[in-house]
Structure 1
Amino acid sequence: MTQRIAVVGAGVLGLSVARMLALRGEEVTLFDKGAPGAGTSQISFAWVNANGKSPDSYHHLNAAGIDAHKRLQRQSGASAPWLLETGTWEWVADSAIRTQLEARLAKLTALGYPWQAVTRETLLTHFPELRLDSRIQQGWFFPSECLLYPSLLIGWLQTQIRRFGGKIIAQTEIVTLSERPDGVELELANGERWQGDKVILATGRWSAELLTQLGLTLSMTDANRPNKVACSFLAYTDPLPIQINSNIISPELNVRPEGGGRLMLQALDLDEYADPARPVSTEGFIGQTFLRRLRRLFSHAESARIARIEVGQRSRPSDGLPALGYVSERQRVYLMASHSGMTLAPLLGELVAEEVITGERSAMLADFAPQRLLTPFTGKSGGFTPAYLPAAQ
């Protein structure tokens, strides 16, 4: 029997699961308080990878996410591909960091994750404008990894949802969420109400706010405050005559192509200064630090300009792992929250849609039930243990 399902949040996770539900014949309405993809999904380094992600179950989930992206793009027939299957190049200069990298490589080998060592000459050949520190005689290449153009994926997913009969209602905030014996009800800011069978919350860093409507507290890293775990500077350059077609992880700077000769830059050590409430100037300390590092890394960057600097705010559960599963006693409200949304979106779209439609939960989601992050229910219910978690003894 067809279900009436609301998805709240039109980032890459919400769009992906809404597409799969509509594709499988469910009556889907996707709500967002802004424009689709305008939140966390649009301000992201968008590196699709499973590199250094622990525990093993999280690594395997992300590795499967890479495969799901590639499979979806092959099947999509999209006129503007969103996925760049370019791999990632990495090198280090500090001996202590190299020791950490070698430990990571050993673990990746045990997990079957592909990588290969490359020579200094290979790096200089692949990146002709590269200025490489004389200490660096070796690098590493991770061939399975990809980069994503979020806007192209967001556009394709919206078109797909509408093609399969789904509805997208943007610029409409949900003000109340309630679960009843016979269904779920949403009250919209404009006074209208939506009633149906189930609700999927894909609201990212706003998830905790909505779950208070169910009397729940969700443990999330607060991305609205200065926090280098949840916030990161992303600097965007004007077009440059630098030949880059893949992701670079270097000692001072992470660099990726952003189209038309533009580059996106990230420097994780600067993130301690990132504050969403305090925009930084391209001419100030942060902007000029990005420029100095870029000019040290590449020739042809003498006239480079930083066009803008954004603060990316991650949707990050407090323990760093995804929260995926039902959060309500009657199993009508489902939560999707993960800071690896760019990597996981197509895969989680498939797995969550399958669980919501059939009740069958994938073994890949076994370690990611959200109850570990929720305070116990209060009142008459005495707590909620979903079927896929063992009851307390």
Structure 2
Amino acid sequence: MRVAIVGLGIIGASTARALTLADAHVTVFERTAPGAGTTGTSFAWINSHKKNPLAYHELNVAGVREHEALGEEGGDWFFPAGNLEWAHGPDMASLTADVEGLLGRGYPVEWISPRRAGELVPDLRMPPGVRDVAWYPKEGYVLPAALLARLWGEARDLGAELRCPAQVTGVTDEGGGASVTLSSGATEHFDTVVLAAGRWSEALAASCGLPLPMADPEAAGSATVGLLGYTVPLPARVGRVLTTPELNVRPDGGGRLVIQGLDLDADADPANVPSPEGEHARELCARLRTLVAGTEAARLESLRVGQRAMPADGRTVAGYGAAGGVYALATHSGITLGPLLGRLAAQEIVSQRTSPLLAGFRPGRFAGVAKESLAPLAPARFAGQQ
């Protein structure tokens, strides 16, 4: 079977790996560079935290397990170190309800004391007044570039071919096959074409008559954009994810930290990326100094505007278009779900065995639905929402 994949982020690389393991002949078309889209600007927190409805929660739980299974094969990209979260004032009721709901689903979470939280993160400066901390021991983070190297490296070792730079401008679903048209004007035919183009998915899907509305990735202050600060190496002992009212934090290797203040995302604008020495950078670093000891000299090496690949209804898309030659993958939870979605997509493409986990996420749900009729997605502004 000859399969083309459009896009080489985590989703595309995972699908390429799984397809080559299933003996498919894989060609990947990437228009700029591997990981140049959302993969390169992700907080990369592995979780099924506030993932609703239940089917989406279960899909993300399976995604976490897929990382665990892949991690057992070796590699330094997945760190299941856990996550600490707390809330202030009236937001504590919301956090308590979230924890109770997760416990009802059998999700690993427990309440611990601030003292215990300090044992888990030795340099944590717990804000005064916090009495209870939610501890999610099975959550963690990945280093996106290292994960991409793992997935694509194995696919390449098994014979997958990369065309880069190669811009796909159109896709044709021929029923029993599909083709891609390149910016050069050339057309190439395959048994199946997989769309793994992230925030560029809508236009490509439309070119073959597949409705796949995506939330606008350029809309300043919307649910699709967010600020991510990448610090210089710091002598701070932070080995876990922190999702707090003031700041989200995860390690990024070599003493660096990735930091995110969700309320500041209201100012995120892909057309106007803030300076790593500007007002937003100073605010992020000030919050980090308050939260973590050893960060007194904190400054940012870069401040990026992440652009999330979000289907317009907020739910993952995974499945064939109506004619059966094009398979679409698009999701906001690309880091958590990447290895799982790649394996399940390959299973459906090569073995034609449908996955019940994907039953509620088919692109056919958008048939006959006007994009304008879908409610705008609410931006994440509080801990755990993103």
**TM-score bucket of the superposed structures, by smaller chain:** over 0.9
1:152 equivalenced with 2:146 (yes/no): yes
Equivalent in the alignment of 1:126? 120
Equivalent in the alignment of 1:209? 203
Name which one, 1 or 2, has greater alpha-carbon Rg.
1
1:370-381 aligned within 5 A: 370-375=363-368
Q: Which consecutive residues of structure 2, in runs of 5 or more, have no partner in the other structure?
A: 371-386
**Aligned Cα RMSD in Å?**
1.5
1:219 equivalenced with 2:213 (yes/no): yes
Q: Deviations over 1:275-321 (max 9, x none)?
A: 00101012322111112211211233222112210001100011111
Tell me the distance in 2 between the aligned counterparts of 1:222 and 1:9.
18
Equivalent in the alignment of 2:272? 278
Judge conservation of contact 1:218–1:375 (CA < 8 Å) in 2: no
Q: Deviations over 1:86-135 (max 9, x none)?
A: 010111222x1110011111110111101111111112223332222220
1:264 equivalenced with 2:258 (yes/no): yes
Tell me, what secondary structure is at the counterpart of 2:238? coil
1:352 equivalenced with 2:340 (yes/no): no
Tell me the distance in 1 between the aligned counterparts of 2:142 and 2:8.
17
1:85 aligned residue (80, 92, 101): 80
Judge conservation of contact 1:219–1:374 (CA < 8 Å) in 2: no
Q: How big is the shift at 1:181?
A: 4.7
CA pair 234-376 structure 1, distance change in 2 beyond 3 A: closer
Stretch moving more, 216-225 or 349-358: 216-225
Tell me the distance in 2 between the aligned counterparts of 1:187 and 1:24.
26
Judge conservation of contact 2:170–2:180 (CA < 8 Å) in 1: yes
Q: Deviations over 1:63-92 (max 9, x none)?
A: 0100001101212x43xx210010101112
Judge conservation of contact 1:225–1:277 (CA < 8 Å) in 2: no
1:282-361 aligned within 5 A: 282-327=276-321, 329-361=322-354
Judge conservation of contact 2:211–2:363 (CA < 8 Å) in 1: no
For 2:53, the aligned partner's letter is P
Equivalent in the alignment of 2:13? 15
Tell me, what secondary structure is at the counterpart of 1:259? coil
Q: TM-score scaled by structure 2? A: 0.92
Tell me, what secondary structure is at the counterpart of 2:94? helix
Q: How big is the shift at 1:359?
A: 2.1
Tell me, what secondary structure is at the counterpart of 1:50? coil
Equivalent in the alignment of 1:103? 97
For 1:117, the aligned partner's letter is W
Q: Which consecutive residues of structure 1, in runs of 5 or more, have no partner in the other structure?
A: 378-393
Q: How big is the shift at 1:191?
A: 3.5
Q: How big is the shift at 1:373?
A: 2.8
1:188 equivalenced with 2:188 (yes/no): no
Equivalent in the alignment of 1:71? 69
Judge conservation of contact 1:11–1:36 (CA < 8 Å) in 2: yes
Q: TM-score scaled by structure 1? A: 0.91
Tell me, what secondary structure is at the counterpart of 2:358? helix
- Identical amino acids, percent of aligned pairs: 38
For 1:88, the aligned partner's letter is N
Tell me the distance in 2 between the aligned counterparts of 1:376 and 1:238.
46
Judge conservation of contact 2:45–2:141 (CA < 8 Å) in 1: yes
For 2:61, the aligned partner's letter is A
Judge conservation of contact 2:274–2:303 (CA < 8 Å) in 1: yes
Tell me the distance in 2 between the aligned counterparts of 1:182 and 1:316.
29
Q: How big is the shift at 1:216?
A: 4.3
Stretch moving more, 163-172 or 308-317: 163-172
Stretch moving more, 299-308 or 66-75: 299-308
Tell me, what secondary structure is at the counterpart of 1:325? strand
Judge conservation of contact 1:216–1:375 (CA < 8 Å) in 2: no
